[in-house]
Amino acid sequence: MLIVVNDPTHVERELLAGRLSCPRCEGELRPWGHARRRVLRMTTHDEELRPRRARCSNCHMTSVLLADVCLYRRVDEAAVIGRALLEKATGAGHRTIAARLARPKETVRGWLRRFSSRVVALREHFVRWAFALDPRLETIPPQGSPLADLAEAIGLATRAASLLFGPRPVWSWVSAMTGGALLSNTNSPFPAPR
């Protein structure tokens, strides 16, 4: 899987021009059909997606090109899940958050448990991104709780990315910076800043 911008026309153009690299070996990705159709629950509506699939010309492995509004194996948009994290960081409970987001409380509780179980690793990851993208950044002061510290690190990293590479929604940057694996159940490392 490779996280790409949420613009199918741009992605197709990049793919046909050979400007997308294999996440495994850095070989050139070429068109290779499409992944299965899926529904993405956005903030206000549902949207049907059919992500592009690509095949590496070098190692021959295939990758799904997942839009940056998505997270790996999640039916909800990254921004919806991110809003739950931010509300939890300000002290809201999972039932309150679920009601505000119009999502099942079990789903929201699952997101928040996953965040809580990985909060230190996620914070460290976004701190690395923040320092890599903003050389003027000297320190990140504590915010009072692990989730608030994570939210601050995400804010600094995504702000620096937008200033450096152009504006993009915060949670699209988060998806890109984690390779879509923000809530993934694997021990695979997140993409490192380059």
- Per-residue DSSP letters for 158-176? HHHHHHHH----HHHHHHH
* Residue 194 pLDDT > 80: no
**DSSP letter at 2?**
E
Tokens representing 157 are 């990293």
Measured distance CA(24)–CA(149) in Å, rounded: 31
Q: Model-level pTM?
A: 0.92
pLDDT tens digits, residue range 85-135? 999 999 999 999 999 999 999 999 999 999 999 999 999 999 999 999 999
Task: Please tell me the predicted confidence (pLDDT) of residue 192.
Answer: 84
Q: What is the mean pLDDT of the chain?
A: 94
pLDDT tens digits, residue range 80-95? 999 999 999 999 999 9
